[in-house]
Each structure stands twice: as C-alpha cells, then as structure tokens.
C-alpha cells in the first residue's frame, strides 16, 4: 500500500477545501483526519473515502470500488475509491468529502450509544 510523497501532498492540498486535514502513516498507507474524525485513507496512490449505508450507493452508482486491504478476494472495508476526476475538481470534491466526514461522524455517534457491559 505504498503512497508516493507527491500524491500525498496533492491529496492534502485538495482536501483543504473542507478545512484543516491531517495525515498519519498507517500500515503502509495514510489515514486522513478532519475535526478529529478518520474520514479517508490513501493506499497505492488512491484516495478512499468513508462510506456508510447512506453514502455507499452514490459511490457504487459511479462505479467506485471498496478498499480491500488484502486483495480482491478479501473483505471490503467501509471506504470507497473517489473518482479521479472528482479529486482534481475542488468544487466537485467538497460535497464528497463532507459526506465522508458525516459518515465518520455517524459511525462515531453509533459507537457512543452502545451500552458497555
């Protein structure tokens, strides 16, 4: 899951459209955070955004594929590939990223509601 420095820099610059985004190395890839929420990742010079049941259909409708860290036959994580043309267009990018942040926020809220025991 290597990430080239130039791709990482480009993605971070583009994602500033939603405010400060930070990056942390993780398992050979890069985790991306906004407002303390893990909302995206970069692997193999591909940007994947967080999805949930609300946002997944939009990604599927444009032919995006899920992130599969262990190959095509492995399980899919809840992150889908962002179309490359969207990444290059900041005005188109903003709503996609905002929906990913909201999906991350919903996921976090769901974890907080579960009783501990």
**Reduced to 3 states, what is the DSSP secondary structure of residue 4?**
coil
Q: Enter the pTM of the model.
A: 0.88
**CA nearest 47: which of 96, 92, 95, 91?**
96
Question: What are 17-71's pLDDT values in tens digits?
Answer: 999 999 999 888 999 999 899 999 999 999 999 999 999 999 999 999 998 876 7
Average pLDDT, the chain: 90
| pLDDT > 90 fraction of the chain, expressed in percent and rounded | 74
CATH no. of 5-113: 3.30.1460.30
Written as one string, the DSSP assignment of 46-84 is EEEEE--TTTHHHHHHTT--B--TT-TTSPPPSEEEPPH
Percent share of the chain, pLDDT over 70: 90
Cβ-proximal residues to 21 (8 Å cutoff; 6+ apart), any chain: 12, 15, 32, 33, 34
What's residue 75's pLDDT? 67
How many angstroms from the chain centroid is the CA of residue 116?
28
């Amino acid at each position: 899951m290597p990430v080239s420095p130039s791709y990482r820099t480009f993605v971070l610059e583009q994602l500033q459209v939603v405010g400060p985004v930070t990056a942390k190395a993780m398992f050979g890839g890069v985790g991306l955070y906004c407002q303390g929420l893990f909302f995206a990742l970069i692997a193999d010079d591909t940007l994947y955004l967080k999805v949930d049941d609300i946002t997944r259909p939009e990604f599927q409708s444009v032919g995006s594929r899920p992130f599969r860290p262990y190959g095509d036959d492995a399980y899919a994580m809840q992150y889908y590939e962002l179309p490359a043309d969207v990444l290059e267009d900041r005005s188109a990018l903003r709503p996609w990223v905002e929906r990913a942040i909201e999906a991350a926020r919903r996921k976090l809220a769901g974890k907080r509601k579960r009783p501990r025991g």
